[in-house]
């Protein structure tokens, strides 16, 4: 046995030494952010390349970081450092131990539940790259073909203000020059409920330049916008509205001129973007129309007016996501400062917004998930203009209360869910095996002049692959229980996907 381990270790060193004579480079075009990530990995130059199929046997310890490029790697022993795999198939056996981060790009990562990763995990198996090898070089080749113009299909949307609104976009791009990617992104939309072509037509233009992890953009847009997209996605809200007129958002019209400077921060499974956005927004109230829906309600919900006027402001924010071994997180936070009389601004204020979602593996293959949101004025600001208000109540937040029942510039909300995958014997055709989910939601939206206590809901749901059945209760008994069937997708995490296989 010892002789076998020694031979495997010697073979591994021979492979690494052979690879050291080859040049490792990136060619072609992939995804801009992924190109930058790969370039950063290649700039390290402290990795050991494994271009051929390799087995690190149980009991063997190899010094990292290791890079598997276009090969097959089986790990049964220990890697002291990071493991990077590009267009490779990596098998982490139960005895495998990675004392660092694991990065998988354009390949397969097959990990035993008992394998140990002490660092972070970044898994992008569908990234558009492949590896080409010659005796002189190992090339990581991007598979995205350059096109001068490419259409960007956009799903149509529908709501009680615009009615049915088809949308389409196009991106005009130049070949990279000195690793600078230049694009002009454009889109148009037409709201069928609006009167007159000028009122119905919306659209935007943004010129973007990106080099590595840094991007600069300049843009202009006229758009019907909302602060409530976090409650329900575009597709879900559109289908719900077209079905029976239920719309979980409030809207206003905005004409904006803006700039945007951003920098990506990447380490292992953590990807973040820090951004700065100066903006001039001219906002106007919009009112409920009378659009077509399949099952027409008696009346559509009133769309509240805003404080019409100009806001000249600057946003400073960070957006990111992180995937660990048994935890995952997404977050978005920003600060906004608006100065009165700057570029015609009618308002002066300072505000903040924090949104986050965090999930962790619980007992067995269960998952515990939290989603939270806090919005409001910063100290020194009494209240915010109504175009910065949010709402709570209705499906997506507090289901036993009316949609938008609580409205204000201050929001506090926490949604907690505990997911239990049900046994395989309960699998149904098409929709698969449901999860049993226990849910608790607590929150409130209010203004400076209101004194409101937090409201809460508790309940349970059966979550299928693309819809759910749910019943929610108000513990105080002030509102009736709410049973509903709605569209929603199951959000899978790495450990839950693995445990279902």
Asked if pLDDT for residue 183 goes beyond 60, the answer is yes
219, pLDDT greater than 90? yes
Burial (CB count <10 Å: 0-12, 13-18, 19+), residue 151: exposed
The predicted-structure confidence for 387-413, as pLDDT tens digits, reads as follows: 999 999 999 999 999 999 999 999 999
Place of tokens 């202009």: 220
Q: Would you list the DSSP string of 388-405?
A: G-EEE-BTTTBTTSPTT-
pLDDT tens digits, one per residue of 233-284: 899 999 999 999 999 999 999 999 999 999 999 887 788 999 999 999 999 9
How far out from the chain centre does Cα 42 lie? 26
C-alpha separations of 137 from 54, 85, 184 in Å:
19, 17, 35
CA distance 353 to 229: 14
Query: What CATH architecture applies to the domain 240-500?
Result: Beta Barrel (2.40)
What does the H/E/C string look like for 116-132? EECCCEEEECCCCEEEE
Q: Where are the domains of the chain?
A: 2-143, 147-239, 240-500
Q: Please state the length of the chain.
A: 501
Q: What is the mean pLDDT of residues 489-498?
A: 61
Per the CB < 8 A criterion, the answer to whether 387 and 351 are in contact is no
* 284-322 residue pLDDT tens: 999 999 999 998 888 899 999 999 999 999 999 999 998
Residue of higher predicted confidence among 2 and 218: 218
Task: State the pLDDT at residue 353.
Answer: 98
User: Count H helices, E strands: the chain?
Assistant: 5, 34
Residue 7: the pLDDT is: 43
Q: Among 96, 98, 91, which Cα is nearest to 73's?
A: 91
Look at residue 12 and tell me whether its pLDDT is greater than 80. Answer: no
CA–CA distance, 399 with 473 (Å, rounded to integer): 8
Instruction: Give the model's pLDDT for residue 238.
Output: 95
Q: Is pLDDT at 498 greater than 50 in this prediction?
A: no
Task: Name the residue among 320, 213, 323, 328 with its Cα closest to residue 268.
Answer: 323
pLDDT tens sequence across 420-461: 999 988 888 888 889 999 999 999 999 998 878 999 999 999
The pLDDT-based confidence of 496 (bands split at 50, 70, 90) is: low
User: What pLDDT is attached to residue 501?
Assistant: 37
Q: Say what the pLDDT of residue 38 is.
A: 87
63-106 pLDDT per residue, tens: 889 999 989 999 999 999 999 999 999 999 999 999 988 899 99
* Average pLDDT value for the chain: 89
Residue 21: predicted pLDDT: 55
pLDDT of residue 499 exceeding 80, the answer is: no
User: Hey, what are 434's tokens?
Assistant: 């449901």
């Amino acid at each position: 046995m010892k002789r076998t381990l020694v031979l495997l270790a010697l073979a591994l060193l021979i492979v690494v030494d052979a690879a050291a004579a080859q040049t490792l480079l990136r060619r072609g075009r992939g995804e801009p952010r992924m190109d930058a990530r790969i370039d950063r990995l290649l700039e390290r130059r402290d990795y050991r390349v494994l271009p051929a199929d390799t087995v690190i046997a149980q009991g063997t310890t190899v010094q990292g970081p290791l890079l598997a490029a276009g090969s097959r790697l089986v790990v049964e022993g220990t890697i002291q450092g990071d493991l990077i795999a590009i267009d490779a198939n990596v098998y982490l056996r139960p005895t495998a131990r990675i004392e660092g981060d694991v990065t998988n790009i354009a390949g397969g990562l097959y990990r035993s539940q008992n394998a140990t990763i002490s660092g972070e995990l970044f898994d992008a198996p569908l990234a558009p790259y492949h590896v080409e090898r010659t005796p002189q070089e190992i090339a990581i080749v991007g598979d995205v073909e350059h096109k001068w113009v490419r259409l960007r299909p956009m799903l149509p949307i529908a709501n009680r203000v615009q009615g049915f609104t088809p949308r389409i976009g196009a991106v005009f791009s130049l070949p990279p020059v000195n690793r600078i990617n230049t694009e002009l992104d454009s889109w148009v939309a037409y709201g069928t409920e609006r009167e007159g072509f000028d009122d119905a037509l919306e659209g935007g233009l943004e010129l973007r330049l990106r080099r590595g992890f840094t991007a600069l953009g300049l843009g202009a847009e006229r758009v019907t916008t909302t602060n409530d997209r976090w409650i329900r996605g575009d597709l879900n809200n559109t289908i719900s509205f077209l079905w029976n007129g239920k719309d979980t958002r409030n809207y206003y019209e905005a004409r904006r001129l803006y700039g945007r400077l951003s920098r990506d921060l990447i380490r292992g499974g953590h990807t973040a973007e820090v951004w700065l956005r100066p903006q001039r927004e001219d906002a106007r109230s919009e009112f409920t129309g009378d659009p077509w829906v399949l099952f027409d309600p008696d009346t559509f919900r009133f769309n509240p007016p805003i404080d019409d006027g100009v806001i000249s402001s600057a946003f400073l924010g960070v957006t990111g996501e992180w995937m660990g071994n048994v935890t995952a997180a997404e977050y978005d936070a920003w600060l906004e400062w608006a100065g009165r009389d700057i570029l015609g601004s009618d308002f002066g204020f300072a505000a903040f917004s924090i949104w986050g979602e965090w999930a962790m593996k619980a007992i067995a293959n269960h998952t515990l998930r939290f989603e939270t949101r806090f919005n409001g004025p910063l100290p020194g600001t009494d209240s915010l203009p109504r175009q910065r208000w949010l709402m709570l109540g209705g499906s997506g937040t507090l289901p036993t209360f009316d949609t938008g029942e609580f409205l204000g510039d201050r929001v506090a909300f926490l949604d907690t869910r505990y997911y239990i995958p049900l046994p395989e014997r309960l699998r149904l055709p098409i929709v698969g095996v449901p999860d049993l989910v226990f849910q608790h939601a607590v929150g409130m939206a209010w203004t400076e002049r209101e004194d409101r206590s937090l409201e809460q809901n508790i309940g349970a749901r059966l979550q299928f692959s693309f819809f759910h059945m749910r019943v929610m209760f108000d513990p105080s008994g002030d509102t009736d229980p709410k049973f509903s069937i709605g569209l929603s997708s199951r959000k899978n995490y790495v450990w839950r996907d693995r445990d279902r296989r």
